[in-house]
Amino acid sequence: MTLDADTILSVRDLRTWFKGRHSIAKAVDGVTFDLKRGKTLAVVGESGSGKSVTSLSIMGLLARPGAIESGQILFRDRQERVHDLARFSQKQFRALRGREIAMIFQEPMTSLNPLYTVGDQIGEMIALHEPISPSEARKRALEMLRHVEIPDAAGRLDDYPHQMSGGMRQRVMIAMALACSPSLLIADEPTTALDVTIQAQILDLLRRLQDQFGMSILFITHNLGVVAEIAHDVVVMYAGRVVEQAPVMELFARQTHPYTRGLLACTPDAERDLGSEGERQALYSIPGSVPPITDLPPGCAFEPRCGYAVPACRNALPPLVKAGENSISRCIRSHEI
């Protein structure tokens, strides 16, 4: 198992399937990408695209009957050892989670225990991985609350989750995730449940903490507007497969897959959404919906919703091809778009 010196995570031809009695849901079907040290990689797509299942596969948190069918998830730990997480046991994952890789979720109220104070929960995370006294764990918990810029951190240390706002609870989750200084943070839709102002604050906080702790971030989202704020590189997924991958600036300058163009058109833009006489225009939406992953067509899964589709799109799954200076695309017309 080898990794480039500047790569911390390499997902290679990952297939995560959910097998039922009469069907197989190929939630992740041949996904490949690399995450560089100290960088942020955004994985973007609609609900059902497979982005969250990819992150759960990396963390070893798949619910049955989900299982990794094949592929590799190569991860470099702080001792520069490379592990294939696709072969890890739950015992190995328990030692890894929190210490080497941490994760924050969309809704902190489902992740925080309502019966314990936030200080106790952060301290417990630290004590789980380090031989530390209760008083030292409490001191470290206070330091983490200050790192995530919670006002009057000492006074909020003994608060329960319900006593905090949504934005503050998300900051507590970030504090818990970073308590043991992991080298990789997976953020699964961490700002979706927050209003726009708080969302911007959380994104700014993640950027500053990334610089401070030197961690890499895998950022899962459906919102390309958020991607522009935080990511260095972008992977776009559709129906369990990667359809486009590019550095963030290259992706926003030129999209080479119709699905990516549709996602970007769905993002509110103050200037674009005004008509020639200043009237407000309806926000664009991609027609149709993601096909069921238990019954994908033999060709391009996006073909029924695509304005660029030709008969050849229905015949066979398009391969990922070079479409720009540093981009790849799963579209036979990528150079025409």
CATH of the domain at 242: 3.40.50.300
**Domain residue limits at 317:** 1-91+218-269+284-337
Residue 20 resides in a domain:
yes
- Measure the CA–CA gap between 91 and 99, rounded to whole angstroms: 14
pLDDT digits (tens, 9 = 90+) for 58-90: 999 998 899 999 999 999 998 999 999 999 999
Structure tokens belonging to residue 296: 């994908």
Average pLDDT, the chain: 91
Residue 216 pairs in a beta bridge with 184
Q: Residue 246, Cα to own-chain centre: how many angstroms?
A: 16
Q: Return the pLDDT at 309.
A: 93
Q: Return the pLDDT at 324.
A: 86
- Measure the CA–CA gap between 131 and 23, rounded to whole angstroms: 47
Q: Return the pLDDT at 291.
A: 87
Residue 114 resides in a domain:
no
Residue 275 resides in a domain:
no
- Measure the CA–CA gap between 26 and 69, rounded to whole angstroms: 10
Residue 159 resides in a domain:
no
Q: How many domains does the chain have?
A: 1
pLDDT digits (tens, 9 = 90+) for 22-32: 889 999 999 99
Residue 13 resides in a domain:
yes
Residue 188 resides in a domain:
no
Percent of the chain with pLDDT over 90: 71
Residue 318 resides in a domain:
yes
Residue 294 resides in a domain:
yes
Question: Residue 275: pLDDT above 70?
Answer: no
- The reply to whether the predicted model has a pTM over 0.85 is yes
Q: Return the pLDDT at 276.
A: 54
pLDDT digits (tens, 9 = 90+) for 133-187: 999 999 999 999 999 999 999 999 999 999 999 899 999 999 999 999 999 999 9
Q: Return the pLDDT at 186.
A: 96
Q: What is the mean pLDDT of residues 48-61?
A: 95
